[in-house]
Each structure stands twice: as C-alpha cells, then as structure tokens.
C-alpha cells in the first residue's frame, strides 16, 4: 500500500511549533563534528532549534557510522535532553558512491533510510556533488530509476528523500515528475544556488513551490549577510509561497570558533524568521 501524502508530511509538520512557519536548525558538523552527539548541546547553546545528523562514511564493520545503535541512542537522548529534534539526516557516502552510475550507492542509501527512521527523523538528504553531480541530461535521466527504487523504500519507512543537487529548478521538477512519489522532494540550498551553480534562488523557490521543497540549507561565503546570498529575500519568498519547514545552517567558521560563529549566523537568520 502506498503511503499517503498526509502521512509523509505529518512528521516534518509536527516538528514545527504551532503558528510558526519557519524554524532554524544546523548541521552537526557545523555545530561541532559530524556524527557527534555532543553537537546537539552546542546547537542548543547557539540558539538553534533542530539538528541535521551526518550518517558518516563506511566503517570497518561495513556499515555507516550512524548505523551503530549506541550512537543512535546517544543522539536520541541528547535530542530529548536539549529539546532539539533531529530534523533530517545527511548521507555523505554518496559523495563517494554515485547514484547516477554505482549500484553500491543504492545499498548505502537504503541503509540511510533505515537509520533515518530509527533516529525518528523525517528527511534523508541525498547529495549529488563533485564527481556525483548530474551534469548532463543523460545523467539526470540515469538517476530516475534508482530514485524510484529508493522512493518505494522511503514510503514504507515514512521518510522523505531530500534531493540536493546542482541542477536547475526546471530539471528538478522534471525528475520529480518522472519518479512520481511524494517521498522525493527537493532539499534546496540557497548558498549553492548563488555561489556554485548560479541559479537565482528566489526564482527557483517560487518555481518549485511549497509542495516540492522538504528543507532548505542556508549558507554563504564567510558570515551570513556579508556575501552574495540574499537570505532575507529567500525567507520572504518561502513565506510568500506558504512553505513551512526548517532552515538548516551549513555555515562556516571564519574565526575558527565554531560555536561563536554559529551563534552569529543563527542570530542573523533569526532577524528574518521572526
């Protein structure tokens, strides 16, 4: 039986405070270190309300780092103690094994779906960058089959797959339509759009619309507000289209003090989130 749209959207919607459409989260590696449960406490101190957990590269046991039950329990405990929900996960091994041409990537992504479910997170972010970027129409078409397979597994697990990439919004929509599952949505990065592949994020967000976007990464070169990324404009567009969800910081630490720089960037973003 296929999972309904309502069931798929229930988890991320429940994570949002009543009456508050946008909330601020952060990647664990930005707060402290990837796959480190202590990053939850740092996120809380910095004023972030949610955290994205990195699943980690392959370990000697043949599984992702976050497959370890004790590490999952530690994250869940920290999330409860600090009242910082796990709002998504990030499967970084897809920088090594590419879904466009490597069947091994499917195995890792399937494990990522299971870990995401066990972490009680609503979204697994799939990445397509570097050698795994979708650079041609043929490569875009090549990922439709694997994404269909994964979407079926994600539906069963009640997990949304966040499709983060360097392609245009028009191509995103074409791939989503070809896959044909509400379990696949766009994980949009306004920093990458501005600085990496030079798409106008404001136009792209409008084109994608509220029902195709599962979560948003926020970053820029240096501190937020000092580069080319129009953070205020992106927030305004998201509010205009009626989108509700998490803005997840993927910012750097120019001063080398991660916690203080995270506080600064979170405070800047909060100026527009209300």
Specify the pLDDT at position 75.
99
What mean pLDDT is predicted for residues 123-151? Answer: 99
Tell whether the model's pLDDT for residue 22 goes beyond 80: yes
* Residues 192-248 pLDDT 10s: 999 999 999 999 999 999 999 999 999 999 999 999 999 999 999 999 999 999 999
Tell whether the model's pLDDT for residue 13 goes beyond 50: no
Count the domains in the chain. Answer: 1
Gap between the Cα atoms of 110 and 105, Å rounded: 9
Question: What CATH number does residue 27 fall under?
Answer: 3.20.20.150
Tell whether the model's pLDDT for residue 97 goes beyond 70: yes
* Residues 235-269 pLDDT 10s: 999 999 999 999 999 999 999 999 999 999 999 99
Specify the pLDDT at position 12.
43
Specify the pLDDT at position 274.
72
Tell whether the model's pLDDT for residue 15 goes beyond 60: no
Lowest mean pLDDT among 53-62, 86-95, 158-167: 53-62
Other CB atoms within 10 A of residue 242 CB:
10
Residue 126 contacts residue 89 (beta carbons within 8 Å): no
Gap between the Cα atoms of 114 and 130, Å rounded: 25
Other CB atoms within 10 A of residue 153 CB:
18
Specify the pLDDT at position 53.
99
User: For residue 27, what pLDDT band results from cuts at 50, 70 and 90?
Assistant: very high
User: What mean pLDDT is reported for the chain?
Assistant: 94
Specify the pLDDT at position 7.
44
What is the residue range of 47's domain?
5-273
pTM of the model: 0.93
Does residue 1 or residue 270 have the better pLDDT? 270
What mean pLDDT is predicted for residues 24-29? Answer: 99
Residue position matching structure tokens 């779906």:
113
Gap between the Cα atoms of 133 and 127, Å rounded: 8
């Amino acid at each position: 039986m296929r999972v309904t749209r309502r069931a798929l959207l229930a988890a991320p919607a429940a994570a949002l405070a009543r009456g508050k459409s946008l909330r601020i989260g952060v990647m664990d590696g930005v707060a402290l270190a990837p796959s480190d449960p202590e990053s939850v406490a740092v996120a809380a101190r910095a004023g972030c309300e949610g955290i994205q957990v990195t699943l980690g590269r392959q370990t000697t046991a043949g599984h992702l780092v976050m497959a370890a039950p004790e590490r999952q329990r530690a994250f869940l405990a920290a999330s409860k103690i600090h009242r910082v929900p796990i709002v998504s996960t990030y499967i970084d091994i897809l920088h090594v094994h590419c879904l466009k041409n490597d069947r091994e990537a499917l195995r890792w992504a399937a494990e990522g779906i299971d870990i995401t479910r066990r972490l009680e997170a609503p979204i697994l972010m799939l990445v397509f960058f570097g050698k795994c970027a979708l650079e041609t129409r043929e490569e875009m078409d090549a990922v439709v089959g694997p994404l269909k397979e994964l979407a079926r597994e994600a539906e069963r697990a009640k997990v949304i797959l966040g499709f983060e990439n360097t392609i245009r919004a028009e191509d995103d929509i074409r791939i989503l339509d070809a896959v044909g599952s509400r379990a696949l949505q766009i994980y949009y990065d306004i920093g990458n759009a501005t600085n990496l592949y030079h798409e106008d994020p404001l136009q792209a967000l409008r084109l994608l619309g509220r029902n195709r976007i599962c979560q948003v990464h926020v970053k820029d070169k240096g501190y937020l507000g000092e580069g080319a990324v129009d953070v205020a404009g992106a927030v305004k567009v998201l509010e205009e289209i009626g989108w509700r969800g998490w803005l997840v910081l993927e910012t750097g630490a120019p001063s080398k003090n991660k916690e203080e720089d995270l506080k600064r960037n979170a405070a800047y973003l909060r100026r527009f989130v209300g």
